Amino acid sequence: MNAPAQEGHLVPCSVYVWVWAALLCLTAVTVSAKYADLQHLAIFAALLIATVKAGLVVLYFMHVRFEKPIFAVMILVLLATYGIYIGLTFVDYANR
């Protein structure tokens, strides 16, 4: 219950700016991927780019990279759980 001491930024502001720039670039890549003729790979490309972007946000903006490993483990458990939810649902569609 003791308030943590003010430690200032854990990371320099420039890192946030670089991450922000990377997110903007990846958004541009998403848009340009729409015009590339990727056929049925398009959905996987869009999902891949979105995953990388979400990873950057979680690691840097949400500070998971600088926290104890327990938080990364928790997030991985959540991702695995949602993966199982989606997986079990689509097993139904694949076998109906």
Partner 1 sequence: MDAAAGAAAPNYLRAGKGLASWLTTTDHKRIGILYLIAILVFFLFAVCLGLMIRLELFSPGEQFVGNQGYNRILTLHGITMIFLFIIPSVPAVFGNFFLPIQIGANDVSFPRLNLASWYFYIGGGLFALGSVILGGVDTGWTFYIPYSADTADNVYLPILAAFILGWSSILTGLNFIVTVHRLRVPSMPWFRMPLFVWALYATSWIQILATPVVGITLLLILLERFLGIGIFDPAKEGDPVLYQHLFWIYSHPAVYIMVLPAMGIVSEIVPVFCRKTIFGYKFIAISSLAIAGIGSLVWGHHMFTSGMADLERIVFSLLTFLVAIPSGVKVFNWLATMYKGSIRLATPFLYALAFIFLFSVGGFTGLLQGALSTDIHIHDTSFIVAHFHYTMFGGGGVMFFGALHYWFPKMFGRTYCESVARWAFALFFVGFNCLYFPLFLAGLAGMPRRYADYLPEYLVYHRISSIGSWILVAGIVLMLANLLRALFKGERAGRDPWGGATLEWTVPSPPPTHQFAAPPVVTRGPYEYARERASG
The rounded Cα 69 to chain-centroid distance in angstroms is 17
Does residue 96 touch partner 1 according to CB under 8 A? yes
How many residues line the site for partner 1 (CB under 8 A)? 13
Does residue 6 touch partner 1 according to CB under 8 A? no
The structure tokens 């569609």 sit at 93
Q: How far is the CB of 52 from partner 1 (least distance, A)?
A: 23
Question: For residue 20, which of 49, 61, 58 has the smallest C-alpha distance?
Answer: 61
Q: How far is the CB of 81 from partner 1 (least distance, A)?
A: 6
Q: Which is nearer to partner 1, 6 or 95 (CB)?
A: 95
25 contacts: CB under 8 Å, gap ≥ 6: none
Question: For residue 33, which of 20, 19, 47 has the smallest C-alpha distance?
Answer: 47
Does residue 85 touch partner 1 according to CB under 8 A? yes
User: Binding residues for partner 1, per CB under 8 A?
Assistant: 1, 78, 81, 84-85, 88-89, 91-96
